[in-house]
Every structure is written in structure tokens, then in C-alpha cells.
């Protein structure tokens, strides 16, 4: 297709000639965009958008070089814009992945759990001796029967010590979110 027919098709929006313009530039522009964005599907989308923009636009081209330069510059600009947007998306995705990273959550929860246990043990140290022993054994996972056997006291005494200990600990931790954790660790 000669230059005058290409310019006529673009400037006068002649549909019957537009397919020839499309065929003349499409493959080369896609190749160029593909080298820039490293994705042939995205490259095709960008080139199609640009050719559609030229078709719908009001701009008139006087020389074929002007049209060619315009198309390549538009592909370059659109590709760079796409790459910047993808880089931004990638940064946001990475940030979100770090925020929602199960390992980060586990580390955070482990730190919270550790701090709550430290705080809980400080409160437990303030309990009377027998209550302190019962609660520590309970935290270690022993059942009421096992605690009674280990300390040489009755099951009812263990239950009473636990009940009194919980009451005192709740009083010390009142208004503290740690109360919920207390139930979690001691249940």
C-alpha cells in the first residue's frame, strides 16, 4: 500500500482502506511493543488501542513519516505507562503479601502470645502459693485429676484453687484484652 493511500485511509477515515493500514503497521508495532513489555498479548492489546485511538481521533497526518513516528511514539509511551502501572501494582501486591503473609502473622501472633504469657506469669506470681502451683500445672496441660494427684490434694481443692485463681487474675486483668487470651491458654 502506498503512502498516499495510507494517509487517505487515516485522515479521511475510509473503512475499506483501514484494513490495509492495520495490516501494514500492526505486526511491526506489536513486535516493538512486545520487546518493551515482554508480553505478546499485552503488546497486541496496546497496539490495538493505539490504532483505534488514531481511527477515532481528529488528528490529520501530512506525511507518512509523521504517521509512522506518531504510531511508534504512541506505542512507546503506552508501553511505558503500562510498565509503570504494572510496577506499581507489583509493589502493592508485594506489600499486601507481606501484610498477609502467614509467616508474618504467625510471628506476630507468637510475639503477642509470648508477651501475654509473660504478663500472665507476672500476675500468677502474685497468687498465693497453692493457687500458683495449680494454675502453672494447668497451663502445662495437666488435668484436674493429674494436678490433684501430683500435689496430693483433692480434686475439689484443685477446682477451688483454679476458681479463686481465675477470679483474682480476671480482677487484675480487667479491661485488658488479655482476659480472652487467658481463657485460651488455661482452657
> Going by C-beta distance under 8 Å and a sequence separation of 6 or more, which residues neighbour residue 76?
32, 36
Whether 187 shows a pLDDT value over 60: the answer reads no
Q: Are 50 and 90 in contact (CB under 8 A)?
A: no
Instruction: Give the pLDDT confidence of 112-141 residue by residue, as tens digits.
Output: 677 777 777 788 888 899 999 998 898 888
φ/ψ (deg, to 5) at 154: -75, 160
Instruction: Give the pLDDT confidence of 58-74 residue by residue, as tens digits.
Output: 889 888 889 999 999 99
pTM of the model: 0.51
Q: Which domains does the chain have, with CATH numbers?
A: 1-100 (1.10.1740), 101-186 (1.10.10.10)
Q: Are 133 and 162 in contact (CB under 8 A)?
A: no
Asked which of 8-12, 50-54, 176-180 is least confident by mean pLDDT, the reply is 176-180
Amino acid at each position: 500500500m502506498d503512502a498516499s493511500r495510507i494517509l487517505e485511509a487515516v485522515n479521511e477515515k475510509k473503512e475499506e482502506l483501514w484494513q490495509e493500514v492495520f495490516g501494514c503497521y500492526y505486526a511491526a508495532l506489536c513486535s516493538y511493543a512486545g520487546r518493551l513489555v515482554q508480553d505478546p498479548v499485552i503488546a497486541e492489546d496496546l497496539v490495538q488501542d493505539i490504532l483505534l485511538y488514531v481511527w477515532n481521533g481528529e488528528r490529520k497526518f501530512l506525511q507518512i513519516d509523521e504517521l509512522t513516528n506518531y504510531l511508534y511514539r504512541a506505542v512507546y509511551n503506552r508501553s511505558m505507562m503500562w510498565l509503570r502501572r504494572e510496577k506499581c501494582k507489583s509493589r502493592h501486591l508485594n506489600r499486601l503479601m507481606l501484610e498477609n503473609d502467614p509467616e508474618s502473622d504467625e510471628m506476630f501472633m507468637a510475639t503477642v502470645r509470648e508477651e501475654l504469657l509473660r504478663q500472665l506469669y507476672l500476675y500468677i506470681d502474685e497468687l498465693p502459693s497453692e493457687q500458683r502451683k495449680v494454675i502453672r500445672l494447668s497451663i502445662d496441660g495437666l488435668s484436674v485429676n493429674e494436678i490433684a494427684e501430683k500435689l496430693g490434694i483433692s480434686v475439689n481443692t484443685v477446682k477451688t484453687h483454679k476458681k479463686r485463681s481465675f477470679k483474682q487474675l480476671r480482677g487484675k486483668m480487667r479491661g485488658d484484652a488479655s482476659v480472652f487470651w487467658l481463657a485460651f491458654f488455661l482452657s
